[in-house]
């Protein structure tokens, strides 16, 4: 089934489209920015250049308080990220491969720890490093007709090397993660949803980006300091004993009490209007 093209107006420059990864603000939703992958001829396979530009984009995003939601997407329809660039990989020495994996791991660590919510819009194959990239996001949306979502590395004589064994296990549990990685199977969008690998599947007439944008709008309308605080507390929960986690939750809650956004929310409730949050 053919899906319609991306519909959200994005602000891009000619220079941006010469890059393999770059930031694109959504003109109709200034609080939402896209981190766009742009190697259509290679299905956004992760090259050295794409990885470098991905890292540069992430460094820019992490200190930008105006961004309330980040969507990781492909610039081309029916695409997401097919994993590492195996053509380029064949020309690399063992030490270069090791450096690449170190840099990719670091980039995905930055993506995972960004203060704002992140959404992967999976409009095409998400394989190997591409799925690992999506797993580093807070939420994943797959297009209805996506057929290839998986970690096929064992069929290439390796294992996932950029967090796949760890993030998939934390998301799915050991049994399903072992199944996914031992078999190297590819899941379609519906199966990935049933497994818990993706959080949403778009309607047949939608793209994953359309669905991700609607989800991003729902997030962005809330108080940004509160959303960032919630992400921080939830992300730390697995690492903390329950009582310590509850203490951390309370301490973080207390930091929000004097915020202008909280005062605005109470005033808006009193006046029966929508609050205008400013992240203050």
Active site residues: 84, 129, 132, 153
Q: How far apart are CA 120 and CA 208, in angstroms?
A: 9
CA distances from 62 to 21, 68, 276 (A): 16, 11, 23
Residues ≥6 apart with Cβ < 8 Å to 115: 62, 228, 231, 232
Environment class of 255 (CB within 10 Å of its CB; exposed 0-12, middle 13-18, buried 19+): exposed
Residues ≥6 apart with Cβ < 8 Å to 10: 24, 25, 26, 27, 34, 36
């Amino acid at each position: 089934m053919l899906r319609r093209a991306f519909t959200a107006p994005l602000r891009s420059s000619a220079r941006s489209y010469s890059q393999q990864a770059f930031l694109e603000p959504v003109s109709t939703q200034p609080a939402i920015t896209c981190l766009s992958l742009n190697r259509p001829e290679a299905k956004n396979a992760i090259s050295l250049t794409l990885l470098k530009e991905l890292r540069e984009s992430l460094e820019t995003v992490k200190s930008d308080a105006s961004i309330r939601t980040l969507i990781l997407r492909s610039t081309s329809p029916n695409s997401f990220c097919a994993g590492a660039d195996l053509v380029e990989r064949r020309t690399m020495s063992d030490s270069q491969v090791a450096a690449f994996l170190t840099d990719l791991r670091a980039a995905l660590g930055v993506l995972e720890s960004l203060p704002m919510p992140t959404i992967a819009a999976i409009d095409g194959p998400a394989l190997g490093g591409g799925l690992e990239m999506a797993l580093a996001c807070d939420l994943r949306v797959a297009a209805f007709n996506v057929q290839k979502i998986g970690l096929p590395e064992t069929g290439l004589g390796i294992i996932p090397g950029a967090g796949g064994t760890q993030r998939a296990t934390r998301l799915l549990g050991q049994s399903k993660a072992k199944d996914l990685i031992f078999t190297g199977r590819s899941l379609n969008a519906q199966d990935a949803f049933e497994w818990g690998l993706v959080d949403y599947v778009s309607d047949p007439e939608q793209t994953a980006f359309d669905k991700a944008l609607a989800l991003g709008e729902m997030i962005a309308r809330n108080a940004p300091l509160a959303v960032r605080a919630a992400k921080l507390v939830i992300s730390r929960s697995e690492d903390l004993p329950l009582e310590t986690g509850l203490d951390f939750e309370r301490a973080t809650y207390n930091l929000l009490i004097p915020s202008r956004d909280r005062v605005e929310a109470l005033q808006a409730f009193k006046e029966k209007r929508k609050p205008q949050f400013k992240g203050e």
